[in-house]
Structure 1
Amino acid sequence: MYETFIDLDELIIRCRDKQAKKFIQEAVACYRAGAFRSCIVATWNAVVFDFLHKLRELELLENGEASNLLKQFEKISSESKVRELWQFESDIPKWALEKFELISPVEQADVKRLFEDRSRCAHPSMTSLEEPFEATAELARYHLRSAVMHLLQRPPVQGRSALNQIWQAIKSEYFPKDTEGAVSSLHKGPLARARFSLIKDIVIGLTKSLLNEEVPEDERERQFSALNAVSKMYYKETGEILNAQLSNIILRIVDTSWDKVIIYLDNVTAWESISEPCQIKARTFIERLNIYEEKSSYINKLSIEKINILVKASRIDFLTDAVISKLQIPFKDLLSLKKLCQNKQFNENIVNPILKTFVPQASFNELITILTDENKSLNEEMEFYLKEKIKETSVKRILSVIQRTQNDKINHLIETFFKEKISTASLDELILIREYFMDELEDQDKEVIELNNIIDISVNRLIKECSFEQIDKLWEIKSNYPDLLIDEHINFLLQTNVSNIVDQFMKSGTFASAKSNACLISKVVDFLKPVHWNYILEAFCTNNQIYDSYGCPDIFISLFNQSIEITGTVQPYWFSFREKLNGLNGVDINRLKQVIDSYQARE
């Protein structure tokens, strides 16, 4: 806007009207030839033709004043009324200011001076014969520059009309929301070669609207794109305007609208600094910002709207520390915030450094969450703490975590830990580790195959070390992993613990344990002696937890049939058992009676 020196050829290029441009070319040629009077005359001619061209443009926009002036000019021109034509020209500075606001009062003075000097150059009678008017190079160049900068380079709309036209364009739903598109749009309107006053009106108007008014989000986006477009078109001028007035505007903002201030400072890049009172108020706003939902059925539910304010504030230099201080919140909330935010730059620059401060106290799951959230590589500190947490964590939990982990480094650490743990792991842990590596056998990796063999050897060793008290665990392992050679040890435990099994059955204290113990009896039926049978049958008749247990009578029907298969006949203890059953009733008990009676009838 305030170019200190403009090349003459640049002045020619800036002219909008072709006819006016020809006169400026002529004026430049005269200037270079030293014909400074002719230069000034040609420059005024360019102003006249440019003014007429602007009137035609305004007429197309249905401007009545422009249409009337054109008709007036055409009439006096066709009638060759020289005096009226001269008066028309002399009124151009007044009309340009008062009727169409094409120029400012200061600029009007320059245009008037050009007209007066043109008259002095073209009409010698207007000057003293003894002292003819001398046009200097400086004066000629001054008029050239003023004519182009004040009128010839500008569109026909300036002042309030231009301001209204620009605002209407921005309010349109079709105004671009991106800065580049907005620049292209505004370049074709009144903002092309705009006066400083127009730029100031737009910048301040948009700023006040964005900071104070409640407008739809769609319109706010258009306003931001327009403001940034003006900043790009007139960066120096926009910076001067905002640096001079933005702080005063911000200090008048009500507390409830301070979120708009943060959004503005983040979105608009033309401002360089704001006053210390503004900065203090902004930091206080961030400190008091409640990032949790105020009306939520969930405890400490984060507000995405408030988190977005923090994201924007983090990009403002003097607010970064305030944001970091604000995010000294519980670890779980910080992780939730990171997932909720999804802003890569914010997470990397602000959230991740805070998360790392939790590392020494973090649990295994928390460490994994920190590291796997974005597939980060481990640094030495993180690796150290993770190794320690792996040692403290159960194999079952580790396996549940590793299934959702996509970090190769973490998986490698866990696999290394598994390999080291094989020699000291419990049977339950070894079974889980074995299952994990079994999934990798499909790759036919030699190392994995050898490792799996080592695990199997350790599993079999621990199985053989299991006592009778662990037989339920062995049954469970057998049902889940039928490929393990476990039957031999189970049979050994059963065979060597018949008396314990019988005693356990006799002492059954619940319906469930009675049924479970009865099933165990059926497993050792081949090893039962008459004395065992007497204890078993007596317990059935005297322990209500056994004879009332659902399923026990059916198991004893099976035991009766197995006994006959083994001995080939009904043993005497079954007859005495049958007599005692007469004291018991029930559908299942009666069915057991019928089975025994049917064999007695045969014999």
Structure 2
Amino acid sequence: MHEVFIDLDELILRCRDKVSRKFIQEAVSCYRAGAFRSCIVATWNAVVFDFLHKLRELELFGDKEAERLLQEFDKFRSSGNKFKELWKFESDIPEVALTKFELISTVEQSDIKRLFEDRSRCAHPSMTSLEEPFEATAELARYHLRSAVTHLLARPPVQGRAARDRIFQDIESEYFPTDPESASKYFQKGPLARARLTLVRDIVLGLTTDLLIKERSEDEKLRQFSALNAVSIMYPQQTRDILNDKLSDIIINKVTDEKWDKTIIYLGSITAWDFLSEPCRLKAQSYIDKLEIYQANQSFLTKFYKPKELSEKFLLILIKASQIEFLKELVIQKFHIPLMDLLSLKEICKDEVFKEKIILPILRDLSLQATLDELLSMIADSSFSSDETIKFYINNKIKDSSLKELIEILYYPNLEQWVFDLIDSELEVKISKSYASNSENLLLSKNIEPLIELKSVYKYLKCEFKTNVIDLINKSVYQSFEEVSFNDFLSLPRQYWNVIDEEQIKVLLKNNTGALINKFVNSNRFDSAETHSIMIVKIAENLTPEQWKNILEAFFENDQIYFSWNCYKNFEELFKKSCNLSKEFREHLKPYWITFRDELNRLDWNPKNSPKQLVSNSKSLKELINNYYG
């Protein structure tokens, strides 16, 4: 990690310890003033204070050797006369920094030793010839300034084996950041800040080997990948050089066939490599080529009766492989599978880049033969919803759809507004044409149900529609209902009644009152009895006394009526309507209702063995009649 030139002011800023920084600042001032001997002396002083500061930091981490040295130094310093011992303590700093704490390398130790020797020459002229005094040059002073800062003052107190152990211990913590940016910030405050190349190499290769060989939990692997990518952020070129040099050898020599999935995941997760040997590439391609995208059948029966299921494990490997340039084409070939299987990937795959680069191009190719259902399933994934190719084919399919098919589309969940707009426009065209040519027979009575369903759907959909389309639907429903027969109306689901004009329904029922009463009297199911009673309530004002009598008598003659819970509620409404008729008409009906009440009393539903709702509704109807007639 060589830097060509470092500015003096930057050297000052790189110092970690405040006291050491002051000495370096003093040394820089001396250098700029031409006092090069003083510069070297101040630089050594900075090294001594920085070394002591590092010992204090190591003591906090429980380092016994650092604690011993600090006690020894304090003892010498407090005695006031241990000059020889203090001198030895200083002179031993290069050796102790290397052998005891691995703060510096062997080469760096030579530089620090030379600084100590030159400091002695500068501070003790008796050690040199009086005729030839030691001359400190600007180059020498600057060299020592740089060596002191880059080798010691800028670095944290942990390097070498202790630094490695601490870094790996940090990564093992469950609280270690799992995104590279945060992990990089974390490392900036620890041993990896301005680390030596040997430490960077140890961390990169250590993590790489572990990820390729060891069995780890997903959380552990996530932290390790985060750490490795963080190192590549901090030291991009160094990490790239290390991996380009060693990665292929590790894979070929240490990764067994059973663990090649780890290799693919590693190569797809780490971007700090440019080179992979030819044997590694061939093995990777062969692995992907033989990878089975579907789960293996577990038994003879599932082989024939259970649909093939995609293997989530192998899919995740392929997703990683898609990020490796020389494997991308093989991955694309693997995903030429049935369209619905391809669409089901959205439940497994959350990688947006994979969807865009691999899945979307395949979907575009399949769009021409896809059904409208399949095309709509494509855009249900937000990653594909704005693709112009898929939208083009959806547009064409909607134009070719029948009215019934368009209605079915409206039931799709979470359709975007542009799809509704297409349907809206096509409905306008189809319904308008039907008025002109009746080409699809949309307005014939037998086709009233699709129109009513369409109006019902429009009523409850929460999206914007053209006003003229809604008016057109309302007009078509109104006109079509004019041709509807009584039996056709009875066949309509009751939920559609609320979208038909109430007066039209009443006119139809009035014109078929006899047939309606006959249907009620002969009701053969609870729900049909309920439906017929609702219709009767709608035209109660138009019933004759004889019809009233027949209706009230039929209630107790047909168990499908008197066992229908909701019929009681409908008869409450029927009674209320009879109470609003003319006084003379009410008198005609009174004996019928009195008889009806007496029959109700005879039913006498037992609360212990009768449905709760039936007992409750029957009681409510009796109370209503009693309150009116006394």
TM-score by length of 1: 0.71
The CA RMSD measured in Å over matched residues stands at 3.4
- How far does residue 448 in structure 1 lie from its aligned partner after superposition? 3.6
Q: Please tell me whether the aligned partners of residues 378 and 409 of structure 1 are also in contact (alpha carbons under 8 angstroms).
A: no
1:9-88 superposed matches below 5 A: 9-77=9-77, 78-88=79-89
Asked whether the equivalents of residues 30 and 39 of structure 1 are also in contact (C-alpha less than 8 Å), the reply is yes
Q: Return the letter of the residue paired with 1:102.
A: L
2:129 — aligned with what?
128
Within-5 A mapping of 1:277-292? 277-292=279-294
SS in 1 for 2:310: coil
1:267 aligns with 2:269: yes
* Residue 9 (structure 1) shift: 1.5
Task: Report the counterpart of residue 435 of structure 1 in structure 2.
Answer: 452
CA distance in 2, matches of 1:89, 1:5: 29
Deviation at 1:142, TM superposition (A): 0.5
Kept in 2, the 8 Å contact 1:200–1:241? The answer is: yes
Give the aligned partner of residue 400 of structure 1. Answer: 408
1:48-197 to 2 correspondence within 5 Å? Answer: 48-77=48-77, 78-197=79-198
Provide the residue aligned with 1:255 in structure 2.
257
- 1:334 correspondence with 2:342: yes
| Code of the aligned partner of 1:351 | I
C-alpha distance in 2 between matches for 1:377 and 1:151: 56
CA distance in structure 1 between the partners assigned to 2:389 and 2:167 by the alignment: 58
SS in 2 for 1:57: helix
1:189–1:369 Cα change, 3 Å: closer
In structure 2, the partner of 1:202 is 203
Q: Indicate the SS of the match to 1:329.
A: coil
Structure 1 distance, partners of 2:264, 2:325, is: 12
For residue 444 of structure 1, report the CA deviation from its aligned partner: 11
**Is the contact made by 2:449 and 2:492 (CA closer than 8 Å) also made in structure 1?**
no
Q: Deviations over 1:296-349 (max 9, x none)?
A: 643221122322222333333333322222111112211222344244443333
Map 1:377-388 → 2, pairs under 5 A: 379=388, 383=392, 387=396
Determine the C-alpha separation between the residues in 2 that align with 1:447 and 1:223. Answer: 59
Contact 1:434 1:456 in 2 (8 A): no
Within-5 A mapping of 1:466-481: 475-476=487-488, 478-480=490-492
Instruction: Report how many residues are paired.
Output: 480
* 1:576 matched residue in structure 2: none
The alpha carbon displacement at 1:114 in A equals 1.2
Calculate percent identity across the aligned residue pairs: 51
Q: What is the CA deviation profile of residues 255-293 of structure 1, one whole-angstrom value per residue up to 9, with x for unaligned ones?
A: 222222233233333334434443343333333222222
Per-residue deviation, 1:111: 1.0
Query: What residue identity is the alignment partner of 2:208?
Result: T
Work out the CA distance in 1 between the residues paired with 2:379 and 2:51.
Answer: 69
Classify the secondary structure of the residue corresponding to 1:361. Answer: coil
Rounded to whole Å, the distance in 2 between the matches of 1:410 and 1:295 is 43
Question: Which residue in 2 is equivalent to 1:583?
Answer: none
Q: For the residues of structure 1 that align with 2:74 and 2:265, how far apart are their CA atoms?
A: 54
2:431 corresponds to which residue? Answer: 419
Contact 2:17 2:153 in 1 (8 A): yes
Q: Is the 8 A contact 2:17 2:50 kept in 1?
A: yes
1:217-263 deviation line (CA, Å, top 9, x unaligned): 22222222222222222233222222322232233422222222233
1:411 shift after superposition:
1.8
2:159, 2:191 within 8 Å by CA — same for their partners in 1?
yes
Conserved in 1, the CA contact under 8 Å of 2:364 and 2:389? Answer: no
Change (3 A) 1:353 1:119: same
Structure 1 unmatched runs, 5+: 465-473, 491-603
Secondary structure of the residue aligned to 1:341 is coil
- Describe the superposition over 1:492-522 as per-residue Cα deviations: whole angstroms up to 9, x where unpaired: xxxxxxxxxxxxxxxxxxxxxxxxxxxxxxx
Aligned amino acid, residue 376 of structure 1: S
Q: Structure 2 matches for 1:456-535, cutoff 5 A?
A: 475-476=487-488, 478-480=490-492
Name the stretch that deviates more: 171-180 or 449-458: 449-458
Q: What is the alpha-carbon distance in structure 2 between the residues aligned to residue 325 and residue 311 of structure 1? A: 13
Separation in 1, partners of 2:411, 2:239: 55
Corresponding residue SS for 1:62: coil
Instruction: Give the 3-state SS of the residue equivalent to 2:92 in structure 1.
Output: helix
1:367 aligns with 2:375: yes
Which residue pairs with 2:520 in the alignment?
Answer: none
Which of 439-448 and 39-48 deviates more?
439-448
Q: Is the 8 A contact 1:364 1:386 kept in 2?
A: no
Structure 1: how far apart are the matches of 2:321 and 2:469?
A: 53
Q: For 1:441 and 1:169, how far apart are their aligned partners in 2?
A: 60
For the residues of structure 1 that align with 2:387 and 2:197, how far apart are their CA atoms?
A: 55
- Counterpart-to-counterpart distance in 2, 1:289 and 1:428: 59
Structure 1 residue aligned with 2:471, among 438, 449, 473? 449
In 2, the alpha carbon distance for the partners of 1:317 and 1:187 equals 32
Task: Tell me which amino acid in the other structure corresponds to 1:223.
Answer: Q
Change (3 A) 1:373 1:51: closer
Q: Give ranges in structure 2 of 5+ residues lacking alignment.
A: 498-503, 513-630
Give deviations 1:334-367, integer Å, cap 9, x for gaps. Answer: 1222344244443333222211212222233223
SS class of match (2:58): helix
Q: Tell me, what secondary structure is at the counterpart of 2:368? A: helix
In 2, the alpha carbon distance for the partners of 1:26 and 1:20 equals 10
Residues 460 and 186 of structure 1: CA distance in aligned 2, closer, same or farther (over 3 Å): same
d(CA) in 2 for partners of 1:311, 1:184? 28
Q: Which of 380, 385, 395 is residue 376 of structure 1 equivalent to?
A: 385
Report what 1:239 is aligned to.
240
Is the counterpart of residue 310 in structure 1 residue 318 in structure 2?
yes
One-letter identity of the residue aligned with 2:368: P
Could you report, residue by residue, the CA deviation over 1:76-101 in whole angstroms, capped at 9, with x for unpaired residues?
Answer: 44252333333332222111111111
Q: In structure 2, what residue type is equivalent to 1:354?
A: I
Q: TM-score normalized by structure 2? A: 0.68
Residues 372 and 31 of structure 1: CA distance in aligned 2, closer, same or farther (over 3 Å): closer
- 8 A contact 1:395–1:429 mirrored in 2: no
**341-350 or 188-197: bigger deviation:** 341-350
Q: 1:177 to 1:381 in 2, by over 3 A?
A: closer
1:438 partner letter: K
Which digits, 9 at most, give the CA deviation of each residue in 1:101-158, with x for residues without a partner? 1110111111111112122222233223333222111111111111111111222221
Residue aligned with 1:185, SS: helix
- Aligned counterparts of 1:262 and 1:116: Cα–Cα separation in 2: 53
Give the conservation status (yes or no) of the 8 Å contact 1:338–1:351: no
SS in 2 for 1:362: coil
Query: Closer, same or farther in 2 for the Cα pair 1:373/1:139, shift >3 Å?
Result: closer
Q: Is the 8 A contact 2:431 2:472 kept in 1?
A: no
1:24–1:420 CA distance, 2 compared to 1 (3 A):
same
